[in-house]
Amino acid sequence: MSDTPEPDVTTIAESLLESLEYRDDASEIVEIPSGILGVLHYVRAGISRLTTISGKIAWILVWVVFVLGLFNVITRYAGRFIQQDIIIGEIFDLQWMLFGALFLLAFNYGLREAVNPRIDFWWANFSDKRKAFIDLVIHVTMFLPFLWLGIRLLWPYAMSGLGRKFDGSWSTWKVWTIWEQSGDAGGLPRGPIKFLMLVGFVLFALQLVAEIIKTIMVLAGRTDLATIAKPKAPVRIE
């Protein structure tokens, strides 16, 4: 092994994984269609920009959640050592809430990056247009209505979390500042995370609109959006 240079396995793996990865930032597309498709293109590019931000927040939150988790462990054991309870309950709550924020805000990123699996038994052999057609029909007739239902259901839920009463009036500022307490003593209010569920669904619905636009463009003959024709590569999960 000493006479032949050892290949840098990590680099190979990375470039390989990158090549499998689905990249589609609408802003990278040079050719902008004219007419109504052009308008759709800009809508999609705008949404995509939002989604990119979501993804970046998610990577950062991974590390924030880790630091909080580590902080928790340290305070717990340091506290045991000096025989004093120095655990900060808020930090524990903040940890799961930020993990929640991580995926709630990035559902849209997962949709764009196609991290969710498909069974590609037949799918892999379909033409681009057929793939786009299947996606378009089900997105519009069934999945978008689901998101609409989700938003409808989450709206009152999120609002009550933020202090709206049953009769529709809002709590006074004094009550508002207390919000709804979490189960643990000294916990954080849960209102914001409930509100994030709503935000997550709205962002997701927006990205789904972008996906629908993409399928329309593929059906209209755009071949540079090879995103749906992603090569038969394993989605890198588990």
Partner 1 sequence: MDLGVALSLIMFVVFIAMILIGYNVAFSFASTALLFSFLGDLLDVFDPAVLATLPSRWFGAVSDPTLLAIPFFVLMGAILERSGLAERLLSAIGMLLGPIKGGVAAAVILVGTLLAAATGVVAATVIVMGLLSLPTMVRLGYDHKLATGTITASGTLAQLIPPSLVLILLAQQMRVGIIGLFAGALIPGLMLSGMYAAYAIAISYARPGVGPAMPKSERTLSGRVLALEILFSVVPIIALILAVLVSIFLGIATPSESGAVGVAGALILAGLSYQFDKILVKRGATHITPRWRLTAKTLREAGKSTANISILVMTLLFASSFFSLMFLQLGGSDQVADWLASVGGGKMGFVIVSMIAVFLLGINLEFLEITFIVVPIFVPAMDLLGFTNIERIWFTVLMAVNLNMAFISPPVGFSLFYLQSVAPPEVKTSDIHKGAIPFMVLQGVALVLLVAFPGIIDFSFDFFTPSST
Considering only 81, 122, 166, 173, the residue that binds partner 1 (CB under 8 A) is 122
Smallest gap from Cβ 91 to partner 1, in A, equals 12
The count of chain residues that interact with partner 1, using the rule CB under 8 A, is 71
Distance between CA atoms of 225 and 215, rounded to whole angstroms? 9
Interaction mask 159-198, partner 1, x per CB under 8 A? -------------------------------x--xx--x-
Which is closer to partner 1, CB of 126 or CB of 176? Answer: 126
Considering only 40, 87, 94, 102, the residue that binds partner 1 (CB under 8 A) is 102
Which is closer to partner 1, CB of 32 or CB of 62? Answer: 62
Distance between CA atoms of 131 and 29, rounded to whole angstroms? 21
Considering only 113, 159, 162, 164, the residue that binds partner 1 (CB under 8 A) is 113
213-232 binders of partner 1 (CB under 8 A):
none
* Residue whose C-alpha is closest to residue 123's, from 32, 225, 232: 232
Q: Which two three-digit tokens encode residue 231?
A: 């090569």
| Burial label, 231 (beta-carbon count in 10 A; 0-12, 13-18, 19+) | exposed
Considering only 32, 39, 70, 175, the residue that binds partner 1 (CB under 8 A) is 70
Considering only 22, 99, 176, 179, the residue that binds partner 1 (CB under 8 A) is 99
Question: Cβ contacts of residue 68 below 8 Å, gap of 6+?
Answer: 91, 94, 95, 98
Considering only 23, 32, 36, 117, the residue that binds partner 1 (CB under 8 A) is 117
Distance between CA atoms of 128 and 134, rounded to whole angstroms? 10
Q: Is 82 left (phi over 0), alpha (psi -120 to 50) or beta?
A: alpha
Residue 13 interacting with partner 1 (CB under 8 A): yes
**Are the C-beta atoms of residues 62 and 103 closer than 8 Å to each other?**
no
Which residues, listed in sequence order, are joined to residue 220 by a DSSP beta bridge?
A: none
| Cβ atoms < 10 Å from Cβ of 208 | 21
Choices 28-36, 110-118, 162-170, 218-226 (CB under 8 A): range interacting with partner 1:
110-118
Which is closer to partner 1, CB of 33 or CB of 110? Answer: 110
Considering only 143, 176, 179, 195, the residue that binds partner 1 (CB under 8 A) is 143
